[in-house]
Amino acid sequence: MTTHPLSDPHLSAPSSPEGAGPALSAPAFSPLYQQIKSLILQGLQNGEWKPGDLIPSELELAARFRVSQGTVRKAIDELAADNLLVRRQGKGTFVATHAEQHIQYRFLRLHPDTGTLDSEGPASRQILACRRLRAPADITAPLGLRAGDALIQVSRVLSFHGVPTILEDLWLPGGPFKALTLDTLAQHQGPMYALFESQFGVRMVRAEEKIKAVSANAQAAQLLDVPEGTPLLSVERVAFTYNDAPMELRRGLYRTDRHHYRNELS
């Protein structure tokens, strides 16, 4: 019961219309646990709890927000279902992170055709370029920017077993990633999204991918060591951070002669 790092909740009881009540035509009924969820989300966004951190226990949060443990529990349940938090019985609840997350590449759906896991060793990465630029609308629009806004573009090749398999370009908004350099990328080990968390305070939460089949052009063919015209998967990804704000556009070409893109439907 110390001072609140989070601002005073001002929780509105479900059925107690306040002075500044809901608008006329909008019922806008919001369950308590949703409000708690938003408050916890604020703590994640404003950096009170960073990736990997232990957040307060359910009872602590219940006391802070003046609600029952069960209500906090339901809020955390949903955040954990969205992979924003990770519960560990007996230890506590932690902020999810792309680092130390035994799955090396959480957003990479490419799997080897044979062999149980992607334990074909960590991929070897080769950074081809890292440059600042002002890009046309087809790049900036998906990032919620205007044509001509400052961007950083990274090009790289991922190889498995020495076989170049993924060629991708990615674009990042110039503001948050101003300090990103080729050296930073080259020296870093592990998932790129872990670097974004630790060095730039940007946590990627979810992503959308659009997949097509295309033919390798001359440049792609050379970099992926396949004949020109070889069919490749074209994977365009937009990755989002906390408030559904797009923070990365990625365009990849995947060889699928020894790998496949795996998806679960339900």
Partner DNA sequence: CAGTGGTCTAGACCACACT
Partner DNA sequence: GTGTGGTCTAGACCACTGC
Residues that bind a second copy (CB under 8 A): 81-83, 106-107, 109, 205-215, 229, 231-233, 237, 254, 256, 260-266
Nearer to DNA among residue 58 and residue 197 (C-beta): 58
**51: amino acid identity, one letter:** P
Q: How far apart are CA 41 and CA 21, in angstroms?
A: 23
Classify 224 as helix, strand or coil.
helix
CB of 5 to a second copy, least distance (A): 27
Partner whose footprint covers residue 213, from DNA, a second copy, none (CB < 5 to 8 Å by kind): a second copy
Q: How far apart are CA 83 and CA 256, in angstroms?
A: 29
- 58 contacts DNA (rule: CB under 7 A): yes
- Among candidates 191, 210, 200, 244, which has minimal Cα distance to 84? 244
Task: Kindly tell me which of 48 and 236 has the beta carbon lying closer to a second copy.
Answer: 236
Among candidates 5, 87, 98, which has minimal Cα distance to 46? 5
Choose the one of DNA, a second copy, none that binds residue 107, judging by a C-beta under 5 to 8 angstroms depending on kind. Answer: a second copy
Q: Tell me if 196 sits within 8 A of 202, measured CB to CB.
A: yes
Window 7-26: residues binding DNA (CB under 7 A): 14-15
Tokens of 50: 């960073």
Query: Do residues 23 and 61 touch, judged by C-beta distance below 8 A?
Result: no
**Interface with DNA in residues 59-118 (CB under 7 A):** 59-60, 67-71, 73-74, 87-93
Binding site for DNA (CB under 7 A): 14-15, 27, 29, 31-34, 55, 57-60, 67-71, 73-74, 87-93
